Structure 1
């Protein structure tokens, strides 16, 4: 689930994938392990430098508590989680 946040923070440069491990003796695989637990009220956003290099902002700013609420109460983590979260978040913001 947290790797989805990395995709948003990198403005889509680093694609998220669910934990998958397959042995392939013909192709090298790189993995990145990390642990994060941002404060619930902290705003998560792609750095301005990354957005300016890309030209457009791919994801809205959001808090960890919004993302956690969505994944714990509305949707399980899979490949469609981030797009579904963004749709939910934007509709949630317009109604509140």
Structure 2
């Protein structure tokens, strides 16, 4: 799942079957977005996909995915959403289904 882009801030969901992480073409110059990958039979993570617009907003950025084991199905992340943000960065939570 590592590419020539910058990947960081990873967290596992669905018992380690899915890895959610932050990706930016160049972390110093480009907006960061959340992506996910699914663990294959070979143990590697494949099927890399960008998470949807509930997380990756046009004109914003998202990073720092986290989960709380006491709240399955909830994904927390930091970000800037132009239509919702009150500061330079806020914390958000959404329902997240790990099914690809």
Give yes or no for TM over 0.5: no
Structure of higher CA gyration radius = 1
Higher normalized strand content (fraction of residues): 2
Higher normalized helix content (fraction of residues): 1
* TM-score under structure 2 length normalisation: 0.25
